[in-house]
Amino acid sequence: MGFAARRSRKAAARAAEGLLALMAAANPQSPPVEQWLWIIEALNWLRHGPDPKVLREGLKLAPALSRPDPGDAPAPAEIERLNVLLDLLEGHPRRRADIAAILSGLLRHTDATLLLADFGFSSRPSFFSEFSERLGNKWLPQSPETRDLAVLFSLFFPHAHDASWLEALDARTLDRLGALLASPAVTADAEDELPTASLWRTALLDALTYTVSQIRATGFSPDLRSRMQRSGPLEMDVEAPFKHLAAQYERVKALLTQDTPEGPDTLRQSLTLLRAGLNACRQQADSVNGHLEDYGTSVSLVYVLHQLHQRIDRAEALLNCLVGDTPARDTSHLFATLVRLNAQRRSLRALWRHNTALLAKKMAERHAESGEHYITRDRREYRGMLGAAMGGGLIMGFTTWIKIGILGLQTALFWTGLLAGLNYAASFVIVQLLHWTIATKQPAMTAPAMADKLGELSKPGGVERFVDEVANLTRSQSAGVFGNVLLVMPVALLIGLAGLAWFGPQFMPVAKAEHELESLSLLGPTPLFAALTGVLLFLSSVIAGWAENAFVLHRLDSALAWNPRIRSRLGPQRAARWAAWWRRNIGVMAGNVSLGLLLGLTPEFFRIFGIDLQVRHVTLSSGLFGAACASLGPAVVNDPAFWWALAGIAVNGVLNVGVSFYMAYRLALRARGIQVKERRAIYASIARRLVRRPWTFILPPRRAAPQESA
């Protein structure tokens, strides 16, 4: 026991010596960079210093005062150490004045507006420029020899955990910190003998001036002005809130700097008008979202709107620090917010998540309406989907043999891939123009349409109605795949038999047919290739969504209908019809062409690097299966490779549909911001339906449910 007590006393003595040495190192007469290094060392001591109780024992200080509310959680260790430091400084007036001078010099020798007004905002709304900036913040060392307070702040609070203890600062500790900053801080220059509170107030006013200017500049930008919606019976000027903001702020600034003799009532009225003006700017900016939803989404505009909202929040936070009811509490909250922003500025993952969420919204919004056409809800629609899929299978039977002919040309890799891609693209476009369908193109189109209905989850029966939609989609997919395969195999087989009868065995040699049959086997890499093809199907839907969004955003339909040169060439009526047709079909056409080129060029691109990677589209694979069987004859059914190829085609269809639908569905969920809790409720409801009524996922009802038909 005696040994433990001696050991405890030694630890307390070492802790006290460390703190005393830290206080002795505070020298306000040293160069500014050395003072900033001392602040960094002091903050590191707050984070990683010794136990506060051991410190108090070594310094012979009184025990810490209990917190005002006994129900409060224990204070973080950083706050306890801070109180130990403040207790010790009360008995050392000279050291207290030195530290107050260093903190005061931090505001005198640096530009605080770079932190208070600009920290956390990017000057260029570009993913790659922001990525390079964050990469530099993450990996390149920063120097404390600077006048940029934002850089120093990053060095002072490099960890996201700092935000938690800054927000946990209690009122008593905040008051003691305020008293420390108000301590007289005599420096070598008489002209610098300004109170720290006065310096802080000036920095806040300057930051608020710059922030209001940035808000107005953003509101006056042409891209936002052209998309802000007018409101009110007189359709007021959309820029009015931003125009009035300058005068509202200048009035408040004049009152705060005592340039006018008005009293506190006038200040309160002016503050109310300024806050109302900021709120009006926020509402006017929100009106742009409605325009983007109706006329296409722009990632750069959404990014600018996001920053505009953040600047309005920053202006309100600065106002609270200046004239709020609890300025010390608001200041600690502002610092905690800046610490979190500092962590985000170093996070590449946060940038990726934010941009992919914007892209998800951009791609998914335009597909929700077109995807409805691929979902069947009753037997009549089911039969229509089956017939359309059979028509698609008919076209793809010819496409299969054209592809075999292109491969037989043995041209350079690029030209082989390009010709194959154009073959696929032309076939997909023909299928679309004939109002037929290719089953594997459906999932990526229907997932956004389904996710569009997730907004009704909070309503009574919303989850069940969504599960009904899942069942409708599953039936539609099975009808599409079955219809394609049902006709593409016999069509490819008949074309192969006709070619053999006309041209002989060289039309498709037996060795080549056996190789094609083995390449479709489930025992080979077919599942991997099928999953990759599902990714390509999803990418084509992303391209389709991007093309449709760009078409609407840039108002190309209006240009086609009203451009003088186009109207003179086509005539007014034909130009209007062309504009309406492209408005309806630009997405599906872009998806068809992009999918064809992706399927044709991807294998040849990988072959450049010596990687034998193939695409396994279930409809094309079924056509290739029929073509190989035509060359091998009826005896092929006795070959195990025949049955393994059939199994491979079945798995091929499942993976094509499953992978593309899953990726598109996750994209749509992210675009709508569906949370994990809601997703679990959906999955649980689907599982219950599978157990209780599994046939609803396969067999269509005689009539659609009332809410579906509505």
pLDDT attached to residue 149? 92
The Cα 599–Cα 168 span in angstroms is: 57
248 falls within a domain:
yes
With contact defined as beta carbons under 8 Å apart, do 298 and 553 qualify? yes
Q: Which residue has 């200080």 as its token pair?
A: 61
pLDDT attached to residue 265? 81
Q: Residue 233 above 50 pLDDT?
A: no
Q: At what angle do helices 171-181 and 93-108 cross, to 10 degrees?
A: 80
One-letter amino acid for residue 310 of the chain: Q
Does residue 217 sit in the same domain as residue 119?
yes
**What is the residue-wise DSSP string for 278-296?**
HHHHHHHHHHHHHHHHHH-
Number of domains forming the structure of the chain? 2
8 falls within a domain:
yes
Which residues, other chains included, contact 668 with Cβ-Cβ below 8 Å and sequence gap of 6+? Answer: 360, 364, 367, 447, 448, 450, 451, 452
With contact defined as beta carbons under 8 Å apart, do 328 and 308 qualify? no
pLDDT attached to residue 479? 84
The Cα 533–Cα 249 span in angstroms is: 58
With contact defined as beta carbons under 8 Å apart, do 448 and 368 qualify? yes
Higher pLDDT: 258 or 21? It is: 21
Which residues, other chains included, contact 31 with Cβ-Cβ below 8 Å and sequence gap of 6+? Answer: none
* Distances from the Cα of 479 to the Cα of 435, 437, 486, 696, angstroms: 16, 11, 10, 13
What does the DSSP 8-state code read for residue 111? B
Does residue 455 sit in the same domain as residue 547?
yes
**What is the residue-wise DSSP string for 115-143?**
HHTTTT--SS--HHHHHHHHHHHHHS---
Does residue 687 sit in the same domain as residue 549?
yes
Does residue 328 sit in the same domain as residue 366?
no
Under DSSP, is residue 16 helix (H, G, I), strand (E, B) or coil? helix
72 falls within a domain:
yes
Q: Residue 424 above 80 pLDDT?
A: yes
Domain around 115: 2-346
Q: Which of 1-15, 99-113, 419-433, 451-465 has the lowest mean pLDDT?
A: 451-465
The 10s digit of each residue's pLDDT in 520-544 is 999 989 999 999 999 998 888 878 8
226 pLDDT tier (thresholds 50, 70, 90): confident
pLDDT attached to residue 710? 39
With contact defined as beta carbons under 8 Å apart, do 428 and 393 qualify? no
Read off the pLDDT of each residue in 168-183 and give the average, rounded to a whole number: 87
The 10s digit of each residue's pLDDT in 661-702 is 788 777 767 766 666 777 788 788 888 888 888 887 777 777
Mean pLDDT for the chain overall: 82
Higher pLDDT: 305 or 372? It is: 305
709 pLDDT tier (thresholds 50, 70, 90): very low
Does residue 422 sit in the same domain as residue 478?
yes
pLDDT attached to residue 491? 95
355 falls within a domain:
no
Does residue 284 sit in the same domain as residue 411?
no
Q: Residue 204 above 90 pLDDT?
A: yes
pLDDT attached to residue 234? 39
The Cα 130–Cα 149 span in angstroms is: 20
17 falls within a domain:
yes
Domain boundary among 321, 346, 371: 346
The Cα 613–Cα 618 span in angstroms is: 16
Q: Residue 198 above 60 pLDDT?
A: yes
The 10s digit of each residue's pLDDT in 17-73 is 888 898 899 999 999 999 999 999 999 999 988 888 888 887 777 666 544 444 456
pLDDT attached to residue 476? 81
pLDDT attached to residue 52? 84
Which tokens belong to 497?
């038999």
Does residue 281 sit in the same domain as residue 400?
no
Torsions phi, psi for 685 (to 5 deg): -65, -40
Does residue 141 sit in the same domain as residue 38?
yes
Which residues, other chains included, contact 305 with Cβ-Cβ below 8 Å and sequence gap of 6+? Answer: 224, 285, 288, 289
The Cα 196–Cα 103 span in angstroms is: 8
352 falls within a domain:
no
Q: Residue 191 above 50 pLDDT?
A: no
The Cα 394–Cα 391 span in angstroms is: 5
356 falls within a domain:
no
Does residue 439 sit in the same domain as residue 370?
yes
The Cα 338–Cα 112 span in angstroms is: 13
Which residues, other chains included, contact 108 with Cβ-Cβ below 8 Å and sequence gap of 6+? Answer: 192, 194, 199
Which tokens belong to 623?
């056509």
Does residue 384 sit in the same domain as residue 425?
yes
pTM beyond 0.95: the answer is: no
- Cite the beta strand spans of 251-351 per DSSP E: none
Q: What percentage of the chain has pLDDT greater than the value 70?
A: 80
**What is the residue-wise DSSP string for 628-647?**
HHHHH-GGGGGSHHHHHHHH
The 10s digit of each residue's pLDDT in 434-454 is 989 887 665 555 655 665 666
CA proximity to 242, closest of 222, 271, 226, 218: 218
Number of H helices, E strands in the chain: 31, 0
179 pLDDT tier (thresholds 50, 70, 90): confident
Q: Which residue has 């009532």 as its token pair?
A: 265
pLDDT attached to residue 64? 62
Does residue 330 sit in the same domain as residue 451?
no
Which tokens belong to 225?
């002005």
Q: Which of 69-78, 322-331, 573-582, 644-653 has the lowest mean pLDDT?
A: 69-78
Read off the pLDDT of each residue in 563-584 and give the average, rounded to a whole number: 91
Higher pLDDT: 7 or 536? It is: 536
Read off the pLDDT of each residue in 264-271 and give the average, rounded to a whole number: 85
The 10s digit of each residue's pLDDT in 467-477 is 877 787 778 87
Q: Which residue has 């992978």 as its token pair?
A: 659
pLDDT attached to residue 444? 52
Q: Which of 243-247, 335-339, 425-429 has the lowest mean pLDDT?
A: 243-247
CATH number of the domain at 667, please.
Answer: 1.20.1080.10
Q: How many residues does the chain have?
A: 710
Read off the pLDDT of each residue in 215-230 and give the average, rounded to a whole number: 81
Does residue 321 sit in the same domain as residue 371?
no
pLDDT attached to residue 259? 55
351 falls within a domain:
no
Domain boundary among 346, 378, 404: 346
